[in-house]
Structure 1
Amino acid sequence: MSQQLITLSDRISYLTPVGPTDRPILMSVTGERHTLMIDGGNSKAHADLFLEKLKTEGKTLPTMAMVTHWHWDHIFGLAALSIPTIASYDTKKAMEELVNFKWDDQSIDERVATGVEIQFCADAIREEFKENRDIQVVMPSILFEDELTIDLGGVTCLLKQVGSDHAKDSTVVYVKEEKLLFLGDVTAPLMYAPIWHYTAEETLKLLDHIDQFDAETYVISHYKLISKAEYVQESTLLRKAASLVNKQNGDLDQMKRDLTDFCGRPLEENEEETLMYFANGAAAKT
């Protein structure tokens, strides 16, 4: 589990993600007065590693933190922090549902069986925490509705709640001076469902929100930083898939044929997967 601290600029550093334990990217944005930590991490160990690497590299430690949405891998690390934490009202409300949960194997398995938890997350929690399940859900101390602007001192961060299929409370962070947009997990499908899926309505609404930001770099939490050109390629696929699922009433085979004609080549694996998620979303409505 080798994670690297990457220095993007004199203002921004980030810790690379990990797949098996579902550790997302953690990022720090430093201004003249404050440093904002974006997301809390999936455990105390995750958050502690980020802080230790910042310290070792001589970086400014965070004076405040925010969380992009309520999922465990973005909030369980808050227990390691002793700084104010920011979240939307909707995120706090969703986090409150987790406070009284128990995290032993039996309790997790029961929640998976009833659909409250999903197997993907259950497996990652076991991998991250092993037998030491001292998990505390720490509530945010600063709440906002819709959006919040933070002046770190020469650096401006706009926190905007945009929603998404993945999580209705999803918030993105736009670092104006860096033209960087931290997307978190907003472009991922809804996972807390019998079948993972996208819906055309939510996807198109989300993409319209994202297009309002003048960004050159985009951060996808469980992937990497991507360029404007790479984001445009991804958003074009999502928009096309959203239009096809409506046009073909969720008929996956016809959607694949249409997208193949549109691309003028055989479909790549990620394109077929995206179409499947949209078809799943159409099926879930029926």
Structure 2
Amino acid sequence: MCATDPAPLASDGAPDVLHGPPPVVAGSPVEVSEGVFVIPDHRVELVPNVGIVLGEKAALVIDTGIGPHNGALVLEQARRLAGGRRRLYLTLTHFHPEHGFGAQAFKGAATIVYNRGQRAELRRKGASYLDMFKGLSPAVAAELEGVELVDPDLVYEGEAEIDLGGRTVLLREVGPAHTRSDQIVLVDGRVLFAGDLLETRIFPIAPYFPPHDTDVDGEGWIGVLDELAALAPQTVVPGHGEVTDASLIHDVRDYLAYVRDEVLRLRERGATADKTAATIAQNALTRWPSWERPEWIGLAARAFYDTSAPA
């Protein structure tokens, strides 16, 4: 591992998966809009919402779940929906293991499409994230057994369109935000797959682990959400949590703006980073009492604190 790569992380800020169910993609795809299906995460930690979009000539899979077993399960569901006559594509919302470390199941079975930043981030951080996630629990380690990091067949910069036949899918780079290379997927201008830019009733995941990984960009994230709100999608598929509508974009933006503004206010009053993070974590739980995974609040606060500090 080179000095610029993120080292495997301790438990600080990591999700508690020791006592939860194994991170396995389960259940049948649900049609959330015409020709657009989601295998729901069922609010299981480290399971993403997986998308399958059907056109007349091709189908697109969005995210794979964690590890080759999950990737194979998703591929099986995609083949069942697509039938034998449709070509398969795979893309990822971002490089994180629970979203893309099942891609090897699709190698040779689908055309794999990443943006250039995703490929670079996977190459730079993939091995260390694999080690980190294996340390979260035996169940996670079991799902990651035999993982191979997979390069794409096609790479784009900026944005790209995939014509599935009667259905057009737009892939667009929007990072840095949650990661340096976040990607949104917009189906026919009406269904938005946002990856971990959005979660339903979950505090946004801010992977801020200095000095190893500090690529999360809170201010950029807010700007991306403004762009997503302007798209006015009818249906929004978050990285985790229930499928919903565009109100989720505003909810998450409000939270991030609250954290940013509170960081500025508290830091100007002389609060340390620790005190600022603790205060915001306590108050955010009061403001958003139904949201889960509060371990991410303090990390978001620290990211804003460090990046907004005077030079």
TM-score by length of 2: 0.71
Q: Is the 8 A contact 2:162 2:170 kept in 1?
A: yes
1:16 matched to 2:68: no
SS in 2 for 1:87: strand
| Partners of 1:89 and 1:39 in 2: CA distance | 17
| Partners of 1:135 and 1:259 in 2: CA distance | 37
Aligned AA for 2:168?
Answer: T
| Partners of 2:116 and 2:295 in 1: CA distance | 33
190 and 153 in structure 1: CA distance in 2 versus 1, 3 angstrom threshold: same
Distance apart, 1:65 and its partner CA = 1.0
1:53 matched to 2:77: yes
| Partners of 2:96 and 2:137 in 1: CA distance | 12
Distance apart, 1:136 and its partner CA = 1.1
Matches within 5 A, 1:192-211: 193-194=209-210, 200-211=218-229
SS in 1 for 2:118: helix
Q: Which ranges of structure 1 fall in alignment gaps of 5 or more residues?
A: 102-110
Candidates 155, 159, 171, aligned match of 2:183:
171
Deviation track 1:229-265 (CA, whole Å, cap 9, x = no partner) reads 33322322222332332233364577589979xxxx7
199 and 133 in structure 1: CA distance in 2 versus 1, 3 angstrom threshold: closer
SS in 2 for 1:73: helix
| Partners of 1:131 and 1:241 in 2: CA distance | 34
Candidates 284, 289, 295, aligned match of 1:268:
289
Candidates 27, 46, 54, aligned match of 1:4:
27
Q: Which residue of 1 aligns with 2:4?
A: none
Query: Whose RCO is larger (CA < 8 A, sep 6+)?
Result: 2
Deviating more after overlay: 59-68 vs 207-216: 59-68
Candidates 224, 240, 262, aligned match of 1:244:
262
Distance apart, 1:58 and its partner CA = 7.3
Q: Which residue of 1 aligns with 2:97?
A: 72
Q: Which residue of 1 aligns with 2:193?
A: 182
62 and 193 in structure 1: CA distance in 2 versus 1, 3 angstrom threshold: farther
Distance apart, 1:12 and its partner CA = 1.2
131 and 147 in structure 1: CA distance in 2 versus 1, 3 angstrom threshold: closer
Q: Which residue of 2 aligns with 1:105?
A: none
Distance apart, 1:226 and its partner CA = 1.9
Q: Which residue of 1 aligns with 2:230?
A: 212
Candidates 225, 237, 241, aligned match of 1:223:
241
What is the aligned-residue RMSD (CA, Å)?
A: 3.5
Distance apart, 1:144 and its partner CA = 0.6
97 and 56 in structure 1: CA distance in 2 versus 1, 3 angstrom threshold: same
SS in 2 for 1:221: strand
SS in 2 for 1:248: helix
Distance apart, 1:131 and its partner CA = 8.4
| Partners of 2:185 and 2:143 in 1: CA distance | 34
| Partners of 1:257 and 1:129 in 2: CA distance | 32
Q: Is the 8 A contact 1:39 1:75 kept in 2?
A: yes
Distance apart, 1:52 and its partner CA = 2.6
Q: Is the 8 A contact 1:165 1:189 kept in 2?
A: no
Aligned length: 266
Deviation track 1:128-149 (CA, whole Å, cap 9, x = no partner) reads 4528722111110111101112
Deviating more after overlay: 154-163 vs 50-59: 50-59
SS in 2 for 1:13: strand
Deviating more after overlay: 123-132 vs 213-222: 123-132
SS in 2 for 1:8: strand
TM-score by length of 1: 0.77
Aligned AA for 1:281?
Answer: A
1:97 matched to 2:124: yes
280 and 13 in structure 1: CA distance in 2 versus 1, 3 angstrom threshold: same
Q: Is the 8 A contact 1:204 1:242 kept in 2?
A: no
Q: Which ranges of structure 2 fall in alignment gaps of 5 or more residues?
A: 1-23, 199-203, 268-272
